[in-house]
Amino acid sequence: METKKFDAIIIGSGQAGTPLAFKLADTGMKVAFVEKEHFGGTCLNTGCTPTKAYVASARRMYDTHNGDALGIDIPAGSKTNLSKVKARKDKLVQDGVHGIEKGVEENENITYFNGTASFIGEKSVLVNGLTLTADEIFINVGGRPRIPEAYQSVEPLDNQSILELTSLPEHLVIIGGSYIGLEFGQMFKRFGCEVTIVEKNSNIINREDDDISRSIQETMENEGVNFRLGATCLGAKKLDDGKICVNVNCNQGEPQVIGTHVLLAIGRIPNTDTLNLDKAGIKTNDQGFIQVNDHLETNVPGIYALGDCNGEGAFTHTAYNDFEIIVNNKLEGGNRKVSDRILTYGLFVDPPLGRAGLTLAQAIKTGRNLLVAKREMSKIARAKEKGETEGFMRVVVDAETKQIVGASILGVGGDEVISGILNIMTAKQPYTVIRDSVQIHPTVSELLPTLLGALKPLEQ
């Protein structure tokens, strides 16, 4: 069996693996770059890029039905052309993929292997019958949707296959609330489908504060999305007429929901099961995530796991930060750590949610002395001018250190406004830096100083 020696092997071309390949190659290292499917990973191909393109199209459809509130008469009759929506999405994805392909082809220090990698030794990987070896190996294989056996017979959609539809479902039943389910639920309702979201918890987003979850649910219900909460989803079956029956067994309402399509949005699992990690002695946890230390190194020296497969973050920005940690520590003499970063993310429903740090409930559990301020979007001039007044801002501060420990911005621009708060949290500066700043008028961000000027001790 032929063996090829490299300075580094990178398995997977997601948001950590791709920039790392180019960065290591720039230093003169010979890099083996292995990808089994397509360049760019989940974010570019089936995640952020395509779904946010769909969100934008859905917003255009929403605008055509809601002009009257702002004095715009829009003739009736607008409809979604899903084939065109998909074609626009495909073009954005293809442009991104081709950009990576071109860069790899032109880089003399990167050797690309299209195939599935599996370990055959501690520092040896088998790809397409060829053995690759290197002193350093970086695993960036991402994850995939979890498809329980109880749903397999109905051939459910997932976040990838639903993006390939060219005609709209009549009634889309989404199993699982939270981020993926809510984003697809709102966009397909706006496209013109009937949508029902089935969630086993009493709140649609169990990890958020109750009032955040309720506010998002109310917004989506006002747009016509149906919710079945507190459900025990035992599975689904196809009916004789081709429709799909989903068992919900809820305390109230009908025990089944009948739809034409089912989308599963109940979590993801890491793509580590084909790597033969035991051959290299690499440890995983009981969920299959590769265990890493604060510098992203596995229990085997010289082997690292980055991105979704390490369980240290499930976002593009955390995967890219994994890349930054590796580069800083390996090439720049730094000491960056996974534990240094602040949890932050967005939920890209409309209006969007921007989150940083702890929720209010999480902050209370720490036992800290807390200061809290909340302001409804309906009291923010810029939101009123836009006609988008749903949601609210909340900031939670440690009363002793004066540092912000958490923030939720649910409302127009919330996914962008949160960055200002995150910057202060990262710099470990007191909240007074924002409170005493001058912000642009008229913006949503200009209310942050006002919000912080209204902090009060938390009443428990």
The predicted model gives 417-435 an average pLDDT of 98
Rounded CA separation 261/413 (Å): 32
Crossing angle between the packed helical segments 48-65 and 178-191, to the nearest 10 degrees = 40
For the CA atoms of the chain, what is the radius of gyration? Answer: 24
Instruction: Give every CB contact of residue 236 below 8 A, 6+ residues apart in sequence.
Output: 150, 151, 153, 154, 156, 175, 244, 245, 246, 247, 262
Contact (Cβ atoms closer than 8 angstroms) between residue 254 and residue 206: no
Confidence of residue 250 (pLDDT cuts 50, 70, 90): low
SS3 362: helix
pLDDT of residue 386: 96
pLDDT of residue 185: 98
Q: What percent of the chain has pLDDT over 70?
A: 99
List beta partners, residue 35: 114
Residue 73 has pLDDT above 90, yes or no: yes
Contact (Cβ atoms closer than 8 angstroms) between residue 243 and residue 142: no
Residue 53 has pLDDT above 90, yes or no: yes
Closest C-alpha among 373, 383, 321, 374 to residue 352: 383
The per-residue pLDDT of the chain, averaged, comes to 95
Amino acid at 405: V
The predicted model gives 384-389 an average pLDDT of 96
Confidence of residue 191 (pLDDT cuts 50, 70, 90): very high
The lowest-confidence range among 79-88, 127-136, 227-236, 306-315 is 227-236
Confidence of residue 276 (pLDDT cuts 50, 70, 90): very high
Residue 437 has pLDDT above 70, yes or no: yes
SS3 197: strand
**Residue bearing tokens 């969100």:** 55
Could you tell me the CA-to-CA distances from 290 to 229, 269, 347, 361 in Å, in that order?
Answer: 33, 12, 26, 29
334, two tokens: 């730094």
pLDDT of residue 420: 96
Work out the end-to-end distance of the chain between its first and last CA atoms, rounded to an integer number of angstroms.
68
**Each residue's pLDDT tens digit, 2-47:** 899 999 999 999 999 999 999 999 999 999 999 999 999 999 999 9
* φ, ψ dihedrals at 117, nearest 5°: -95, 140
- Is the CA virtual torsion 54, 55, 56, 57 positive or negative? positive
Helix H or strand E segment including 376? strand 370-376
Rounded CA separation 247/236 (Å): 6
Confidence of residue 103 (pLDDT cuts 50, 70, 90): very high
pLDDT of residue 252: 67
Closest C-alpha among 406, 302, 305, 316 to residue 353: 406
pLDDT of residue 281: 97
The predicted model gives 72-85 an average pLDDT of 95
Domains annotated for the chain, with CATH where assigned, are 3-145+269-340 (3.50.50.60), 149-266 (3.50.50.60), 345-457 (3.30.390.30)
Could you tell me the CA-to-CA distances from 304 to 10, 11, 43, 263, 298 in Å, in that order?
Answer: 10, 10, 20, 33, 5
Confidence of residue 247 (pLDDT cuts 50, 70, 90): confident
The predicted model gives 49-65 an average pLDDT of 96
Closest C-alpha among 159, 176, 175 to residue 54: 159
The lowest-confidence range among 249-253, 335-339, 435-439 is 249-253
Q: What angle do CA 440, 381, 53 make, to 5 degrees?
A: 80
**Each residue's pLDDT tens digit, 104-152:** 999 999 999 999 999 999 999 999 999 999 999 999 999 999 998 888 8
Rounded CA separation 274/119 (Å): 9
C-alpha atoms less than 13 angstroms from C-alpha of 326 in its C-beta half-sphere: 31
Confidence of residue 1 (pLDDT cuts 50, 70, 90): low
Contact (Cβ atoms closer than 8 angstroms) between residue 221 and residue 214: no
SS3 41: helix
SS3 157: strand
What's 342's DSSP letter? P
381, two tokens: 């001039």
Q: Where are the alpha helices (DSSP H) in 107-177?
A: 149-152
Rounded CA separation 368/93 (Å): 45
The predicted model gives 409-437 an average pLDDT of 98
Residue 251 has pLDDT above 70, yes or no: no
Closest C-alpha among 101, 80, 110 to residue 9: 110
Residue 255 has pLDDT above 90, yes or no: no
Rounded CA separation 82/447 (Å): 39
